[in-house]
Amino acid sequence: MPAQLPEDIVQSIAIANAKSIGEQPAILANLALAQQIFNQNMQQQISISQQQAMNQVQMAAAAKCVAMIESAGCKNQSSIEKMEKDIEKIIEEMGRIIDKKGDDGSSQQPP
């Protein structure tokens, strides 16, 4: 028959096991909190990336409008009217894109 462990070793192992079991909920809570913080950070980074992309689109649209205004040169009324229609079309398209982004729920907060 194998030798039995001394009573004080058995007791220290039991205390260590009880302590480990007692700390487990706190460890799991910390892991859950870390995961929640990570998820929120990732969502904020995605939101920033989307905002930067929209800013680039808006800058490109503004540059196109400026180029159209410069090309028209205010020389004749028909080119000015064409330019107005083109600018309105660009603005409407940007509005539809922005509305579509809002409808997708891409900017919703996590629960």
Query: Per residue in 53-86, pLDDT tens?
Result: 989 988 988 888 888 777 766 667 777 777 788 8
Q: What's the average model confidence in pLDDT over 101-105?
A: 66
Residue 110 domain-assigned? no
In terms of phi and psi (left: phi > 0; alpha: psi -120 to 50; beta: otherwise), the region of 30 is alpha
Domain contains 2: no
**Is 92 among the domain residues?**
yes
Does any domain span residue 54?
A: yes
Q: Which of 91, 99, 83, 102 is nearest to 58 (CA)?
A: 91
Residue 108 located in a structural domain: no
Range of the domain at 91: 7-103
* Digit-coded pLDDT (tens) for 28-51: 899 999 999 999 999 999 999 999
pLDDT tops 80 at residue 92: yes
pLDDT at 104: 65
How many structural domains does the chain have?
1
What angle (nearest 5°) sits at the alpha carbon of residue 77, between those of residues 73 and 81? 90
Confidence of residue 4 (pLDDT cuts 50, 70, 90): confident
How much is the pLDDT for 109? 46
Kindly report the pTM of this predicted structure. 0.49
Is residue 82 assigned to a domain?
yes
Query: Taking 50 as the threshold, does the pLDDT of residue 110 lie above it?
Result: no
* pLDDT at residue 100, as a whole number: 80
Say which residue, 49 or 7, is predicted with more confidence: 49
Residue 30 lies in a domain: yes
Q: How far is CA 76 from CA 8, 11, 36, 65, 81, in A?
A: 102, 98, 60, 17, 9
